């Protein structure tokens, strides 16, 4: 489908000045930015009303189907949250539960302007089906561990073969849940798969101080990044969620290994885990991405909130109001995430994915229009999303969702399923 978005303020990328003009798309790709090409005839023309058209957001770390658990494991530290509430419910998850939970999250994603996700959860086929319905760009990330009831290396090999060549909008990352849930032989086996396939890996890393301390005790003083590096887990680079307690040597090692930290400020604050050393990461030349984590620990999937926290937590921690600019936060939420996941998007340029969001600049909290980019980070919220375009299709428009399933059915399925999961877990 050919679309023309005109009368727009355009953010090509966060490090460039805004401009006025139009964007044309066709077949899931951007055709032009700035002016309409000669002879381009759109099937639909959208007057953007002088509002802001920019890249859709990339949520580079989430567990989408955990939307089912929103509100049932709150106000607990990570170890109790995980072992006493989440794991018991996850023991009873079915593929259908994951599909409907991911559909619920997909609705929230598109309402929030999110067009690309990295999802680490069970039943990747169901996750992919839901993401495809909503036309999201999706990286499927294995989060298995030594407690998994199946042959993890064989499963990863099967998923790699299935998804690696399926589409330019889906990828599969061999990975594991975390150092503390995985035996050494399993980590080595996944490292071997990554080495043989050339694929980057994905894992939760240094999320809590306890995790880091326990790892150093188990492994002769090695922190989680140092231990995984020793086992070859990061030989092809990859992504590491959280990195809350990465010290300066860990940060240097992540940079050396080509590992992108994915910062989850909202989840880390709610679980009292800590604040990642983003300023040190940026100084080392890393380009962190942003994630929301799952809705059982955040409990929202707003990249607006994550951008605000990404910047402002560093200002407080470093006692420096200039630390981590709004432009750096916008980059983390868009181009950095797309790039880390290996997808051709995150910026508005001809040939890139037609993944975009239209933000309302008429709202009171966006005025005066002194600096629109800074307003997006420090003032905006998800209520400003007027339209979300994913893969060249409008998937959300002023309260209407076009994600392959009726919203009422999604709600009904999820309410039914969480009641059953709570009962089966014995809460």
Residue of 306, 293, 211 lying closest to 250 (CA atoms): 211
d(CA 117, CA 388): 14
> How distant is the alpha carbon of residue 98 from its chain centre?
17
Is it the case that residue 77 has pLDDT exceeding 90?
no
d(CA 202, CA 224): 13
Give the pLDDT mean for 173-183. Answer: 97
Q: What was the pLDDT predicted at 19?
A: 97
Under a CB-based contact definition with an 8 Å cutoff, are residues 305 and 381 in contact? yes
- Element at 31 (helix H, strand E): strand 29-34
Percent of the chain with pLDDT over 90: 97
Signed CA dihedral, 347, 349, 355, 359: sign only: positive
Give the pLDDT mean for 75-82. Answer: 86
Map out the domains of the chain with their CATH numbers. Answer: 2-55+346-401 (2.30.40.10), 58-341 (3.20.20.140)
Q: At what angle do helices 152-163 and 124-133 cross, to 10 degrees?
A: 30
Query: Given the structure tokens 């020793």, which residue do they identify?
Result: 230
Q: Tell me the pLDDT tens digit for each residue of 6-53.
A: 999 999 999 999 999 999 999 999 999 999 999 999 999 999 999 999
User: Reduced to 3 states, what is the DSSP secondary structure of residue 227?
Assistant: helix
Q: Tell me the pLDDT tens digit for each residue of 300-344.
A: 999 999 999 999 999 999 999 999 999 999 999 999 999 999 999
Q: Tell me the pLDDT tens digit for each residue of 131-142.
A: 999 999 999 999
Which residues, 6+ apart, have CB-to-CB distance to 368 below 8 Å? none
pLDDT band at 79 (very low <50, low <70, confident <90, very high): confident
| Residue spans of alpha helices (H) in 81-208 | 87-90, 95-111, 124-133, 152-163, 184-197
Q: Tell me the pLDDT tens digit for each residue of 195-237.
A: 999 999 999 999 999 999 999 999 999 999 999 999 999 999 9
**pTM reported for the whole predicted model:** 0.97
| Residue spans of alpha helices (H) in 258-352 | 265-270, 278-283, 303-318, 326-333, 335-341
Q: What was the pLDDT predicted at 82?
A: 87
Under a CB-based contact definition with an 8 Å cutoff, are residues 110 and 355 in contact? no
Integer CA distances (angstroms), 311 to 29, 55, 422, in order: 31, 19, 37
d(CA 172, CA 118): 9
Is it the case that residue 427 has pLDDT exceeding 90?
no
Q: What was the pLDDT predicted at 308?
A: 98
């Amino acid at each position: 489908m050919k679309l023309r978005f005109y009368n727009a303020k355009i953010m090509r990328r966060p490090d460039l000045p805004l401009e006025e003009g139009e964007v044309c798309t066709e077949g899931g790709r951007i055709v032009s930015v700035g002016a309409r090409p000669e002879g381009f005839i759109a099937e639909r023309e959208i007057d953007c009303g002088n509002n802001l058209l920019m890249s859709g957001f990339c949520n580079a770390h989430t567990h989408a189907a955990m939307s089912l658990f929103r509100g049932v494991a709150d106000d607990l530290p990570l170890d109790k949250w995980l072992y006493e509430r989440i794991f018991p419910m996850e023991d009873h998850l079915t593929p259908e539960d994951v599909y409907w939970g991911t559909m619920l999250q997909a609705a929230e994603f598109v309402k929030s302007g999110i067009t690309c996700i990295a999802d680490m959860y069970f039943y990747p086929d169901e996750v992919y089906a839901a993401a495809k319905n909503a036309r999201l760009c999706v990286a499927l990330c294995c989060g298995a561990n030594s407690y998994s009831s199946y042959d993890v290396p064989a499963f990863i090999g099967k998923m790699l073969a299935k998804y690696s060549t399926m589409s330019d909008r889906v990828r599969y990352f061999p990975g594991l849940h975390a150092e503390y849930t995985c035996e050494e032989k399993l980590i080595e086996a996944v490292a071997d798969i990554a080495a043989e396939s050339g694929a980057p890996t994905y894992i939760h890393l240094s999320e809590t101080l306890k995790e880091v301390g326990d790892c150093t005790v188990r492994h002769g003083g090695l922190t989680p990044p140092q231990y995984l590096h020793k086992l070859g887990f990061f030989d092809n680079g990859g992504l590491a969620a959280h990195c809350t307690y990465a010290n300066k040597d860990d940060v240097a090692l992540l940079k050396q290994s080509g590992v992108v930290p994915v910062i989850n400020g909202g989840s880390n604050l709610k679980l009292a885990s800590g604040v990642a050393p983003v300023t040190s990461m940026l100084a080392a030349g890393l380009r962190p991405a942003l994630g929301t984590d799952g809705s059982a620990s955040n409990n929202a999937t707003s990249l607006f909130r994550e951008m605000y926290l990404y910047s402002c937590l560093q200002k407080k921690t470093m006692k420096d109001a200039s630390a981590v600019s709004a432009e750096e936060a916008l980059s983390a939420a868009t181009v950095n995430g797309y790039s880390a996941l290996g997808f051709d998007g995150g910026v508005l340029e001809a040939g890139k994915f037609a993944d975009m969001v239209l933000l309302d600049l008429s709202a009171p909290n966006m005025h005066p229009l002194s600096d629109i980019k800074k307003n997006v980070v420090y003032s905006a919220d998800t209520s400003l999303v007027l339209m979300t375009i994913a893969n060249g299709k409008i998937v959300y428009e002023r309260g209407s969702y076009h994600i392959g399933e009726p919203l009422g059915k999604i709600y009904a399925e999820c309410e039914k399923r969480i009641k059953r999961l709570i009962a089966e877990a014995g809460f």
